[in-house]
Amino acid sequence: MTLEGTEGLEGRVALVAGATRGAGRGIAVELGARGATVYVSGRSSRGRRSEYDRPETIEETAELVTAAGGRGIAVVADHLVPDEVEALVRRIDTEQGRLDVLVNDIWGGELLFEWDSTVWEHDLDKGLRLLRLAVETHAITSHFAVPLLLREPGGLVVEVTDGTADYNASHYRVSFFYDIAKSSVLRMAFALGHELGPRGATAVALTPGWLRSEMMLDAYGVTEETWRDALAEVPHFAISETPAYVGRAVAALAADPEVSRWNGQSLSSGRLAQVYGFTDLDGSRPDAWRYLVEVQDPGRPADTTGYR
């Protein structure tokens, strides 16, 4: 399976860190659909659930990657533990001898942040753990994985976050801790771009739009098949997208021989869909961040005409 105007990824090796569910799972599956070997890591396994206590597992993600046409390899790892991350990267080196794509999608903060809560009102322990999960995990993973990625020219690092650089620079994002977490990841991609670019690799920040993740669908009491039922309560949810959409964005970047043109930049699934020509599973091209600025934030009625 290949998407419009791009190459396959046969022979390429990827690590999607934080691939148990949501964007990470969507990215892993779409890389697999292009033929890549994809190591998928996370804390939730069939033997033990993470603090989320969710049913999704890293083994299930690996199976979906393989079913899509690639080779999925599940590795249970806590990316806050350097020894576990080092062992994961050592395993990839031993088994593959290379790493072409690193996706830092580790998050784990949905149960920790408090909406519209000031820094003095927010639970401090939860806020500090959120920052560790969202920031330290990415730094630890890059520390160990980037040397392997740099072994061959053309490597790609994707820092997955929430919000574009322009949007986050001018908007308060949920709470002090959430705002800092997501903006820090944007800056990571910028810094990595300066460090990787001269060494023949590329780093970008990438945000999905309003993601129809497993947790989001559960929060609205709908499924992927019935998601439009949520529009009666949340009309702007009409701009939402599946995890496959951001997955196709990563796959398109990974297959682009001129991906270095994006080095250090902040990108979105909607913007890249316009460049690379891929669509979401329903054939649409939602552009959520333009929609937020032009429709939702100004308080206009929900209308996705011209935005998907």
CA distance 209 to 62: 24
- Give the pLDDT of residue 178: 94
Q: What is the pLDDT of residues 137-148, one digit of tens each?
A: 999 999 999 999
Phi, psi of 15 (to 5 degrees): -120, 120
Q: What is the pLDDT of residues 1-25, one digit of tens each?
A: 334 444 799 999 999 999 999 999 9
- Give the pLDDT of residue 45: 80
CA distance 178 to 174: 6
Phi, psi of 133 (to 5 degrees): -65, -35
- Give the pLDDT of residue 50: 80
Q: Are 59 and 66 in contact (CB under 8 A)?
A: no
Average pLDDT per consecutive 10 residues, the chain (308 residues; last block may be shorter): 60 97 97 98 86 88 98 97 98 98 93 90 96 97 98 97 96 94 97 98 98 95 97 97 98 98 98 98 97 96 96
pTM of the model: 0.95
CA distance 247 to 59: 18
- Give the pLDDT of residue 2: 36
- Give the pLDDT of residue 1: 33
The CATH architecture of the domain made up of 13-211+242-292 is 3-Layer(aba) Sandwich (3.40)
Token representation of residue 112: 């920790």
- Give the pLDDT of residue 109: 85
For residue 36, which of 3, 66, 77 has the smallest C-alpha distance? 66
